Amino acid sequence: MSSQATQEPTHSNGRLAFTALAALGVVFGDIGTSPLYTLKTVLDYTGPHPDPSAVLGALSLILWTLFLITTVKYVNFAMRVDNDGEGGIIALMTLLGVKTHQRPIIISVGLFGAALIYGDGAITPAISVLSALEGVEQIAPALTAYVLPAATVVLLALFAVQPFGTQAIGRAFGPIMLAWFLIIAALGVYGIMQHPQVFVAINPLYGLDYLMRGGAQGFLVLGGVFLCVTGAEALYADMGHFGPGPIRLSWSFVVFPALILNYAGQAAIVLAGAPTEGNIFYRLCPAPLLTPLIVLATIATVIASQSIITGAYSMTRQAILLGWLPRMTIKQTSEEGYGQIYIGTVNWLLMIVTLGLTIGFGKSDNLAAAYGIAVSATMLMTSVLLFIAMREVWRWPVVAAGAVAALFIVVDGSFFAANMAKVMDGGWVPLLLASIVYGLMWIWHRGAMAVQTRVESEVTPLSTFIELLDSGKIARVPGSAVFFTRAKDQTPPVLDWHVRHNRALHENALTLTMTVVSVPRVDPGARLTVQRERDHFWRAEVKLGFMEHPDIPEILADCKMMGVGLDLDDVTYYVGAETIVPAEDGKGLPRWQEVMFAAMGRNAARISDYLHLPYDQVVEIGREIEI
């Protein structure tokens, strides 16, 4: 008994350590590569020869930003608010805006915050890879001309390999990022040894003094300081994949200490007289080791970019299931990990935008102006939602919730305001991208609701259809049929049309409705309900969480176990193919919205492709719908 008791914690601790290592490769790539450009960007505001108070002030602001936003807000507060284990702004939005009440404003805030992440997803690979490769300038200035072409090639390769999945590469992400953090920590210690007094910057008064003395220019510095936490939202968004424990462990014992040491080391060598031109990060490295470091940095930035791209896929799938984006073909690239998916439309659009930003801005310094505004806006929205969660989920008194949320909102609001000053210098790019994505989400949802309303207004009562079956006028032919429908309590339009025009129905027929609920995953026992309407005719409803994708063969197998007499080897699937036309009565959607919704519908994945139905067993029945 005592032996078993001592072994279980060891196994548990070993599993926790392994998961924490995996989290290093997925969660912390973005924030872990920020030392490549953050301090350099901040000191650019002070000119080519910053005085010691400016350097210490900048370092103090960076350290306290990492502590307040990442450690306090996300690790200790946000990660305690979960939607059945899932985190991120969409999970938080569904928890507060859908699960408990229907709140259009909260839903709008959450969706715009999610849309902003797409803008960040396009900029992160560009600025990260450029900043890593710019280190070659310190090896040989003549190589500067090759930085942009090399970055373009690396990014092209990154997006080109997405269809093949990242399962094999992903296993190496954790160890590579662990090596990265250990090395940047060691470089930081090397820099600190040259000017140990740098740690006085732990005193927040240095940062506050720097802001106060700088006036308006000092306030704008916050836009550069914010770059040190641009990946903090990933801690919350990836909580469901790894769990809060491994993420907290990795952050507290590896990532946070490594970042503190590296930023302090960079500031120390500047105080010791190192020039601020070029990349300060690479000046920490002894010359013989510079080339291996550039290679490792490039790999680390590719890993960071991969995490952002994968996050965009996951967020797109959630939005599709929740009815905010049209169907897209989703390819599962690994049988082991649910998050290992590929969405071609998202991949190629992200590639086009990322390459456009890389070539258009040319240097990481130029991209820094566009970077941060999207994430700061998302973080501000998250703080507002956290206040509501403190009141409604934790039941905190309004004074306590208001005090904590006010601290977060003041900090996030300050960073957002400072970043807004960069709008004309490139900050408009992520805002434009987010506005386009949010607009498409809004139009698609409005159109989908209009289609559902129109369909439900024209359906035949189920009792009338049952009477038609009982009348004996409908021939029952051999085989099994499954009819996909939105209608839960009425006759599915596709079934009604099929029977009335063909005067026949398969011997065994099942209508299947898939409903997405506001939880990440539905308990298996509550997932499927089956109701027998008549002999050889059943209705089924399957409930899915917004993190799940329907597995039709598995669903039908469960239906058979519950008494549905389907021959799973001989099933014909019937789906509706809807053509959207403007309403003739003038009471439908505005014409421009109808045109855009119809265009998205025509380019959406067919329901048979989205559900991975076998092509030779699908019958599509078309109809025009006025909206």
The pLDDT tens digits of the residues spanning 308-346 come to 888 788 788 878 877 889 988 888 776 555 556 788 999
- Rg for the chain, CA atoms, rounded: 28
167, 341 Cβ separation under 8 angstroms: no
Q: What is the pLDDT of residue 556?
A: 92
**Residue 533 burial by Cβ neighbours in a 10 Å radius (0-12, 13-18, 19+):** middle
What is the DSSP code (8-state) at residue 75?
I
**Residue 67 burial by Cβ neighbours in a 10 Å radius (0-12, 13-18, 19+):** middle
CA distance 142 to 138: 10
β-strands 618-626, 330-332 pairing: unpaired
574, 494 Cβ separation under 8 angstroms: yes
Question: Measuring CA to CA, how many Å separate 176 from each of 23, 37, 235, 364, 594?
Answer: 12, 20, 19, 23, 49
- Cα angle value 597/514/95 (rounded, 5°): 80
Record the tokens describing residue 417, joined without a space.
């305001």
Q: What is the pLDDT of residue 11?
A: 40
- Cα angle value 579/463/486 (rounded, 5°): 35
- One DSSP character per residue, 365-421 reads HHHHTTSSHHHHHHHHHHHHHHHHHHHHTS---HHHHHHHHHHHHHHHHHHHHHHHT
CA distance 118 to 108: 16
Q: Where are the domains of the chain?
A: 17-446, 459-626
Q: What percent of the chain clears pLDDT 90, i.e. is strictly above it? A: 33
State which H helix or E strand residue 351 sits in. helix 344-361
625, 581 Cβ separation under 8 angstroms: yes
For tokens 């009565």, name the residue. 585
Which residues in the chain show pLDDT less than 50? 1-11
Record the tokens describing residue 562, joined without a space.
């519950």
Question: Measuring CA to CA, how many Å separate 107 from each of 138, 384, 442, 502?
Answer: 48, 12, 11, 44
CA distance 558 to 548: 17
Query: 198-218 burial by CB neighbour count: b if 16+ within 10 A, else e?
Result: bbebeeeebbebbbeebeeeb
Q: What is the pLDDT of residue 624?
A: 80
188, 263 Cβ separation under 8 angstroms: yes
Record the tokens describing residue 598, joined without a space.
């119809």
CA distance 265 to 194: 8
- One DSSP character per residue, 518-529 reads SSSS--HHHHEE
Q: What is the pLDDT of residue 6?
A: 34
Question: Measuring CA to CA, how many Å separate 53 from each of 273, 456, 468, 470?
Answer: 14, 68, 86, 88
- Cα angle value 409/412/415 (rounded, 5°): 145
Nearest residue to 281 via CA among 151, 166, 183, 392: 183
Q: Architecture of domain 17-446 in CATH?
A: Up-down Bundle (1.20)
Q: What is the pLDDT of residue 3?
A: 35
Q: What percent of the chain clears pLDDT 70, i.e. is strictly above it? A: 95
Record the tokens describing residue 273, joined without a space.
């007289």
- Cα angle value 14/18/21 (rounded, 5°): 140
Cα of first residue to Cα of last residue in the chain, in angstroms, is 69
Q: What is the pLDDT of residue 235?
A: 81
292, 140 Cβ separation under 8 angstroms: no
Interhelix angle for 147-160 vs 104-133, to 10°?
130
